[in-house]
Structure 1
Amino acid sequence: MTNSELAKNDEIDLIDLIRVLWKKKLVISLSAVLFAVIAAIYAFTAKEQWTSKATVRAPLVSDLGTYFTLEREYADIIGDPEFTTEKLIERVFANFSVSLFSSDFKQQYFEQSDWYKKALSEYSSESSQQRFLANLLEKDLTVTKPDLKKDPNAIGINLSFSAQTPKDTQDVLKGYVEFVNQQVVDEQKSDFLEVLRQRIETLTLQKEQLAYSSEITRKIQLENLRNALEIAKTAGIKDYAKSVNGNISLPEAMLGDAKIPFTDSKLSDGTYLFMLGEKYLQSQIAILNKAQIVYSPDYYKVEKQLSLLIPILKKAEKPMKSNSYHYLSSPDFPVQRDWPKRAILLIVGAVLGGILGCIWVLVKQICGGEDE
């Protein structure tokens, strides 16, 4: 058989096939309509899915609010050379980022969420409830970082949540971001309070030790003066300016020709204090008993730090508003369904029904079930 004859036969077969299909066009149309109706029933009864999206980045100084002020004041008071605004922002956002990805945080959020409790009531068995929660954690609530290889200019962290209504998606996603933020802020505040309290306790102890040291020094000084006074009384030394042999005063005898300063001479030693005489020693004792204790410079430095840190502690113990993130785009209100795509489902259903109708007609024709 020549090629022309084969082509002619193929043409005849194709025409016959078209004739058969055209003859059964009503059956094919009914099949297409039937499947379109089935697709429509599914499209209008299936659970809808909507998705809200958001993007967050590192916070601004204004986002940190009171927490930034407390950290900066604390660093200034203690003289922390390593404190910078950039390091604080980086540390806070790093904690927030890690928490966003945490499955435990996601579960904690849903377990206290009214939306989750209401949705969970639709599932009767424990296994179905567990599957519902697993889908929420793994599929519905997603947190991703952009691929810098594909988009080098991308910044921030992307979040999305899918649910059956647009409002639910937006509310739940907002709620999750706020929940994680509050947890991070509370942890940061707790750590800061612990460091601050330890610093105050340490400084308080230092102040007490310095005060005790000054009090002991004064006590020893008074004891030395009293002992010297008793010795001076016993020795009959009334006045340190009295002459020895009628020519030289006692201090001059002790200082010698070199004229050594009094504080460097033997008269400053408790052993030789009696040589100053009763009158001088009694005056010293009277003044020391009346005068307030003069503490060391370190004591007053510690006291000043404490007076500045204690107000910070009181402010830190109060509730504070602080954000550990900044929205590049806040959770949106979705305006287009993810699923079901009703128009597409209707078209697919009709096309599939038509194809299956054609196949059914051709099978019947091949099997000889109907005449041409």
Structure 2
Amino acid sequence: MSNSNNKEQPQSQQVISGYYPMFPVLQNDGIDLFDVVAQLWRRKSWVIGCILATTLLAAVYAFTAKEQWTATAVVDVPSFDTIDNYYQGIRLLEGNVDKLTSSEDVANKLFKQFISQAGSYNELSNFIYESDYYKKIVEGKNKKDKANILNEIVSSVRLVKDQENSTYFFSFPATTPSEAQVLLEKYIDSVNANVSQVWYAQLTSQIKNKKQTLKNQMAAIKKVAEERRLEDIKGIKMALSIAERTNIQKPEITGLTQLDSNRLFLLGKDALAAMSESVEKQPLTLGDFYYDLQRQWISLDEFKVNNTSIKGFSYLKSPIEPINKDKPKKAIILFLGLILGFIIAGGVVLTEMLMDNYRKHTK
């Protein structure tokens, strides 16, 4: 009897002296991977349903979300033929100087101004605000929403300099390819028109001031020459008066004797009368400098300002309709929807298995 009782008693596990296990030895009550796969297979209808549901939601978003297309362009320093008229005006303003401004300097200054204007927040926001595209997408919205949409469009426009050269990369987004292309073209043209208007306004003002300066210089030279002629005539008439009073009819000098104004009466009445008439009728002696100024004035006066031909840039890549859409990426969204559905379904199944396993071991 006692032997049978001893057999029924479980033998205690021998513990090695001095050894204390850090963790209790657990039975393998975890969930096996094969059990998870088997459970997923048994619940395949649920898994497929989750995948279909999330994929359907992803498809709804992918096919109804607002699209975005981005048109691009690459610009560089303007070529000489697009700044020729402006450069001619600059050269005429400089006149006869030792070191003339080069066409490269003018092109670089124009391009720098163009880029500065194109990157201006005010310039861009004003252009977008006045565009038909913006008016269409904000129709019926409140003031706050309109401001948010405007800031969103402005912040999405890019103007980036190439690190290796002087070129700049433009990009302009819109909801359709054609609108993106048109907006980018119009914005670049608008900036160029504003820049050329400012530069030609300055050029026109400078030409006007230069012409007035030249005119004043020529008038001063003519005035001095006229005063000099009047002085000469006055001296001749005074000598003629003396010759008449002394009854000197013919010259009383011989050879090439030099006469000053005090002895001019020795030429006699006949010579002095002829000299007086000649000096009064002959044109003013103005000098080469006067005629150089006159040539400059005529050149400036005949110069025709043509502000429609100037460009502050040149295209290396003109804006075209974009081929690839920025967003939404339908294939990626659908794939993510499928993966999300599988994760949700697997998470639910795994949670149920863990709960069942927990309940079994707590009974």
Same fold (TM over 0.5): yes
TM-score, normalised to structure 1, is 0.83
Q: Which secondary structure does the structure 2 equivalent of 1:160 belong to?
A: strand
Q: In the alignment, which residue of structure 2 is the partner of 1:19?
A: 38
Mapped contact 2:54–2:340 kept (Cα < 8 A): yes
Pairwise mapping of residues 181-330 of structure 1 onto structure 2 (< 5 A)? Answer: 181-241=192-252, 251=253, 262=257, 265=258, 267-269=259-261, 271-312=262-303, 315-316=304-305, 318-330=306-318
User: In structure 2, what is the Cα distance between the partners aligned to 1:108 and 1:80?
Assistant: 44
Q: In the alignment, which residue of structure 2 is the partner of 1:246?
A: none
User: In structure 2, what is the Cα distance between the partners aligned to 1:10 and 1:82?
Assistant: 92
* Matched residue type, 2:298: S
Mapped contact 2:92–2:296 kept (Cα < 8 A): no
Aligned residues: 337
Q: In the alignment, which residue of structure 2 is the partner of 1:248?
A: none
Mapped contact 1:364–1:370 kept (Cα < 8 A): no
CA displacement 1:64-105 (0-9 Å, x = unmatched) = 243334444555x54462321221211111111211211122
When residues 15 and 116 of structure 1 are mapped into structure 2, their CA distance, relative to the original with a 3 A threshold, is closer
User: In structure 2, what is the Cα distance between the partners aligned to 1:117 and 1:369?
Assistant: 61
Q: Which secondary structure does the structure 1 equivalent of 2:215 belong to?
A: helix
User: In structure 1, what is the Cα distance between the partners aligned to 2:77 and 2:184?
Assistant: 18
Q: In the alignment, which residue of structure 2 is the partner of 1:125?
A: 142
Q: Which secondary structure does the structure 1 equivalent of 2:74 belong to?
A: strand
CA displacement 1:125-179 (0-9 Å, x = unmatched) = 111111111112222x111112x3xxx4x54001101111011111101111111
* Matched residue type, 1:230: S
| CA shift for structure 1 position 297 | 2.5
Mapped contact 2:129–2:150 kept (Cα < 8 A): no
* Matched residue type, 2:74: T
User: In structure 2, what is the Cα distance between the partners aligned to 1:354 and 1:168?
Assistant: 39
Q: Which secondary structure does the structure 1 equivalent of 2:71 belong to?
A: strand
Q: Is 1:46 aligned to residue 65 of structure 2?
A: yes
Mapped contact 1:67–1:320 kept (Cα < 8 A): no
Q: In the alignment, which residue of structure 1 is the partner of 2:56?
A: 37
Q: Which secondary structure does the structure 2 equivalent of 1:294 belong to?
A: coil
Structure 2: any 5+ residue segments left out of the alignment? 1-12, 14-24
- Moved beyond 3 Å, runs of 4+: 8-12, 68-75, 77-80, 368-372
When residues 105 and 89 of structure 1 are mapped into structure 2, their CA distance, relative to the original with a 3 A threshold, is same
When residues 125 and 11 of structure 1 are mapped into structure 2, their CA distance, relative to the original with a 3 A threshold, is closer
Mapped contact 1:21–1:358 kept (Cα < 8 A): yes
User: In structure 1, what is the Cα distance between the partners aligned to 2:89 and 2:214?
Assistant: 18
Pairwise mapping of residues 81-120 of structure 1 onto structure 2 (< 5 A)? Answer: 81-120=99-138
Q: In the alignment, which residue of structure 2 is the partner of 1:247?
A: none
Aligned counterpart for 1:68 among listed residues 65, 70, 87? 87
Bigger radius of gyration: 2
User: In structure 1, what is the Cα distance between the partners aligned to 2:218 and 2:236?
Assistant: 27
Q: In the alignment, which residue of structure 1 is the partner of 2:5?
A: none
When residues 19 and 288 of structure 1 are mapped into structure 2, their CA distance, relative to the original with a 3 A threshold, is same
When residues 57 and 133 of structure 1 are mapped into structure 2, their CA distance, relative to the original with a 3 A threshold, is same
TM-score, normalised to structure 2, is 0.85
Pairwise mapping of residues 338-357 of structure 1 onto structure 2 (< 5 A)? Answer: 338-357=326-345
Q: Is 1:335 aligned to residue 329 of structure 2?
A: no
Q: In the alignment, which residue of structure 2 is the partner of 1:255?
A: none
Q: Which secondary structure does the structure 1 equivalent of 2:181 belong to?
A: helix
User: In structure 2, what is the Cα distance between the partners aligned to 1:31 and 1:353?
Assistant: 5
Structure 1: any 5+ residue segments left out of the alignment? 242-250, 253-258
Q: In the alignment, which residue of structure 2 is the partner of 1:145?
A: 161
User: In structure 2, what is the Cα distance between the partners aligned to 1:88 and 1:291?
Assistant: 46
Mapped contact 1:214–1:296 kept (Cα < 8 A): no
User: In structure 1, what is the Cα distance between the partners aligned to 2:125 and 2:98?
Assistant: 38
RMSD, aligned CA: 2.7
